[in-house]
Amino acid sequence: MTQVCVPVCEKSLDAFENASARACEFADIVELRLDCLAAVEDWQRWQQVLDRISRPVILTFRPAEQGGYRELDHDARESFWKTAPRTDWWDVESDLAPDADWSRVIISHHDFSGVPDNLEQIYERLAASPARVVKIAVQANDVLDCIPVLQLLDRARAEGRDLIAIAMGNAGIATRVLGPSRGAFLTYAALEDASATAPGQITAQKLRSVYHVDKIDRETMVCGLVGRPVMHSVSPHMHNAAFVSAAINGVYLPLEVRDVKTFFRRMVHPRTREIDLNLRGLSITAPHKSAVLECLDWIEPEAEDIGAVNTVVVDDDKLRGFNTDAAGFIEPLLALTGSLAGSRVAVIGAGGAARAALWALRRQQANVTLFARDAAKARAVGQLFDVSYKPLPSASFAEYDVVVNATPVGSGELIDQTPATAQQLAGARYVYDLVYNPIETRLLKEAGEVECKTLRGLEMLVAQAKIQFQLWTGQAPSASLMYDSAAAALGQ
C-alpha cells in the first residue's frame, strides 16, 4: 500500500495546527518537524494539536547536520525524547536509543553530500537495531544515484525489512515516485513547493494527481525525459494525463542525466542495466540529442539525417531511436501557413532543435537561412543541410516570411532575453518561438509590437509528444488533453 507522508515545519504552534489540518487532505501520514521551532512549547498544548490530526503522526526532532533546522547536541535531543508525547511514530537518529516502544520507531540516517560508498553497511547497521522501520536518505547528483537506493529497497523487501529509502534532490525524483511500488514503507511529499523539507521533495498533490503514485506497481510501464535540466518541463503532465486517459498502467518521470552514455549502459539498455525497471521509452532533450545516437541499436533514417534523436523506444533487448521534433515542428506551422514551398524562412540557432527544423523546412521546399552567434557552428550546420548562414547580431528579418527561434533564449535563466528585437522583426510575417515555457516569451511580445503573426512553442511540444506516445504505446493520445495538461502546468 502506498503511504504518502507530508512533513509540517512551522515556527509556531498555531501554524503547526493549521498546516497539519491542510496536510491531512493529501497525506496518509503527517510528520511534525519540531526542530523547526525556536523552542518546544508546552506539551499539554501540543497534545491538543495532536488530538486534532486525523492521520497517523511521525514526531521528528532533527539536528542540523542531519538536515534539521536547529543546532541540537546529543544531550538536547536525548532530553527531548524523554518528555516527548507518544505519537504513532518517532523518527530518531541512529546515535540515540530512547526509552521507547521500538515497534513505533523509525531509525534514520541522512547524507546530504551524496551516496556513500558504504551504503549497504549503513543499512545493515540500522537494520540490526530494534527499530521497526529503517530510513536512509542520501543526496542524488545524477539519476544514476537512484540505482543503489532502488537496489536497497529490493534487498529490504526480500529480507522482510521495512525501509524508507530516498534519493534527495531533483535527480532523485524516481525514488520518491517508484519507491512505494518497490516496497518502501512510505514516500515523502511537501504540502506546498515552498514548504519542502528536503531537496527534490515535490508536493503531495503533484505526486498523486500528476504521477498517480497510488496506482504504480512493479508492472507499471516507465517512460521519462532525459536531459539536464529537466524539472522545468511540462512533459510529465502531458504524458501522465495521456496514460490515465488511455487506461495504460504507465508513468513518465523527469530524469536528470549528466553522462548519457553511462546512463544508457547502467540504467536503460536491457542487456547491461543494473536495475529492473519496466522501461519502455524515453524523450531526449538538451544536451543529449546528438550524443545519444552512440547508445542505440537502430536509428530511423530521418533521425540519422538530422543528426539528433529525441525519442527512444525499448523494443525487447534493443533500443530504437527516432526524431519526432521535425514532424512536431512542421505540423503547427503548416496548419498556420498552409504551404511553405518557396517561403523565405529564417532559423535562429544551430543546435538539435534547429537541425530538426532545417530538415523539415527543406522537405517542404522552403528557402532557408540559418542565423547563429557561433559562426563556426552555423557554417557547419548550414553546409550539412545545404542552407545559407548569416551572423545573428546584425540580422534584419524584414524580408522573411517566417522567423523561427530554435534556441533556449527566452526560457530558464534567459527568460528576460530575446534572440531578436522588434526592430529586427519588423516586416516579417510570422514568428515561431520553439520555447514553450513561458508560453508568452519576450520574442513573441516583441513580434506583437510590430504586428507579426505568432506561433507558440507549446504547439510543437504537443505535436511531437503525440508521436512519442504512440511509438511507446501503440495508441494515439488526445492532442487537446495533452495541450490542456501542459497549459495548466504553465499556469494558463
Q: Determine how β-strand 311-315 pairs with β-strand 279-284.
A: antiparallel
Query: Do 162 and 23 belong together in one domain?
Result: yes
Query: Do 317 and 330 belong together in one domain?
Result: no
282 phi/psi in degrees, rounded to 5: -140, 140
Residue length, the chain?
492
Domain CATH for 290:
3.40.50.10860
Domain CATH for 107:
3.20.20.70
pLDDT at 8: 96
Query: Do 206 and 293 belong together in one domain?
Result: no
Query: Residue 365: inside a domain, yes or no?
Result: yes
Query: Do 26 and 162 belong together in one domain?
Result: yes
Per residue in 165-197, pLDDT tens? 999 999 999 999 999 999 999 999 999 998 888
pLDDT at 224: 98
Q: Determine how β-strand 187-188 pairs with β-strand 162-168.
A: unpaired
Number of CB atoms found within 10 A of residue 356's CB: 29
Q: Helices 13-23 and 43-52, interaxial angle, to 10°?
A: 20
Domain CATH for 445:
3.40.50.720
Query: Residue 184: inside a domain, yes or no?
Result: yes
- Enumerate the β-bridge partners of residue 109: 136
- Domain span holding position 45: 4-211
Q: What angle do CA 358, 364, 369 make, to 5 degrees?
A: 40
Query: Do 177 and 311 belong together in one domain?
Result: no
Question: What is the chain's percent helix, strand, coil content, to nearest 5?
Answer: 40, 20, 40
Query: Do 100 and 10 belong together in one domain?
Result: yes
pLDDT at 195: 87
Kindly list the distances between the CA atom of residue 483 and the CA atoms of 224, 231, 463, in Å, as whole numbers in the listed order. 18, 18, 9
Query: Do 204 and 232 belong together in one domain?
Result: no
pTM above 0.85, yes or no: yes
Instruction: Dihedral sign for Cα 461, 466, 469, 470, please.
Output: negative
What is d(CA 405, CA 347) in angstroms, rounded to the nearest whole number?
6
Of 180, 211, 242, the position where a domain reaches its end is 211
Query: Do 337 and 443 belong together in one domain?
Result: yes
Max Cα–Cα distance, the chain, nearest Å: 82
pLDDT at 41: 67
Of 211, 236, 263, the position where a domain reaches its end is 211
pLDDT at 95: 92
Distance of CA 267 to the CA centre of its chain: 17
Q: For each of the chain's 492 residues, which pLDDT tens digit applies?
A: 799 999 999 998 899 999 999 999 999 999 999 999 887 767 778 888 899 999 999 999 999 999 999 999 999 999 999 989 999 999 999 999 888 899 999 999 999 999 999 999 999 999 999 999 999 999 999 999 999 999 999 999 999 999 999 999 999 999 999 999 999 999 999 999 988 888 899 999 999 999 999 999 999 999 999 999 899 899 999 999 999 999 999 999 999 999 999 999 999 999 999 999 999 999 999 899 999 999 999 999 999 999 999 999 999 999 999 999 999 999 999 999 999 999 999 999 998 899 999 999 999 999 999 999 888 888 999 999 999 999 888 899 999 999 999 999 999 889 999 999 999 999 999 999 999 999 999 999 999 999 999 999 999 999 999 999 999 999 999 999 999 999 999 986
Query: Residue 465: inside a domain, yes or no?
Result: no
**Cβ 140 vs Cβ 169: under 8 Å:** yes
**Cβ 232 vs Cβ 412: under 8 Å:** yes
Query: Residue 477: inside a domain, yes or no?
Result: no
Query: Residue 400: inside a domain, yes or no?
Result: yes
Query: Residue 112: inside a domain, yes or no?
Result: yes
Query: Do 332 and 316 belong together in one domain?
Result: no
Q: Is 469 exposed, middle or buried (0-12, 13-18, 19+ CB in 10 A)?
A: buried
Q: Determine how β-strand 4-8 pairs with β-strand 29-33.
A: parallel
How many domains in the chain?
Answer: 3
Query: Do 438 and 380 belong together in one domain?
Result: yes
What is d(CA 319, CA 261) in angstroms, rounded to the nearest whole number?
13
Q: Is 322 exposed, middle or buried (0-12, 13-18, 19+ CB in 10 A)?
A: buried
Query: Residue 69: inside a domain, yes or no?
Result: yes
pLDDT at 432: 98
C-alpha cell at 67: 538536515
Instruction: Tell which residue, 152, 188, 159, 166, has the closest CA to residue 23.
Output: 188
**Cβ 224 vs Cβ 252: under 8 Å:** yes
Query: Do 308 and 367 belong together in one domain?
Result: no
What is d(CA 450, CA 426) in angstroms, rounded to the nearest whole number?
5
C-alpha cell at 35: 526542530
Query: Do 246 and 364 belong together in one domain?
Result: no
Q: Catalytic annotation on 215? A: no
**Cβ 357 vs Cβ 369: under 8 Å:** no
Of 295, 323, 351, the position where a domain reaches its end is 323
Query: Residue 220: inside a domain, yes or no?
Result: no
What is d(CA 336, CA 463) in angstroms, rounded to the nearest whole number?
14
Q: Which long-range contacts (CB under 8 A, 24 or more apart) does 269-273 make?
A: 269/295, 269/319, 270/314, 270/316, 270/317, 270/318, 271/317
User: Which is the catalytic residue, given 135, 206, 289, 318?
Assistant: 289
Residue with cell 493520445: 477
Kindly list the distances between the CA atom of residue 256 and the CA atoms of 174, 230, 283, in Å, as whole numbers in the listed order. 10, 6, 12
Amino acid letter for position 352: G
Number of CB atoms found within 10 A of residue 104's CB: 16
